[in-house]
Amino acid sequence: MPEQNNKNFEESNTDNPKEEAKGLSDEELLNIDPYAKIQEILPLIHPTGNVDHEPSSLMSYLNDYNLKIRMLKAQNPSPEEYNQQKLTLIRNFLNQLDNLVKSRQER
């Protein structure tokens, strides 16, 4: 059963979960504040301040990330396994944000 749970953490919305995280060390990724990342990209998505429905997408990504972190902690993995799984989750989260920014800039 733990193998099935691990598959959930490794799912990604992109083909290359490391793409967004280029240039960042694993240690830097583990210390990323997801709330700060959302605040950082919000002006890129809405330069005029017109936020419409987009914050709900951002919050959906954040809530999904936080839920997966809580599920991971509930499994009580070893510290090494926890860090590996968290790296996968943060990379996926960053890719979701990156894809959102790219899609908004293409409009």
DSSP per residue, 52-103? TTHHHHHHHHHHHHHHHHHHHHHT---HHHHHHHHHHHHHHHHHHHHHHHHH
pLDDT of residue 48: 60
pLDDT at 9 over 60: no
- Residue 82 CA to residue 86 CA, distance in Å, equals 6
Q: Please state the rounded mean pLDDT for residues 5-17.
A: 43
Higher pLDDT, residue 44 or 47? 44
- Residue 4 CA to residue 92 CA, distance in Å, equals 18
- Residue 67 CA to residue 30 CA, distance in Å, equals 16
pLDDT at 8 over 70: no
pLDDT of residue 3: 43
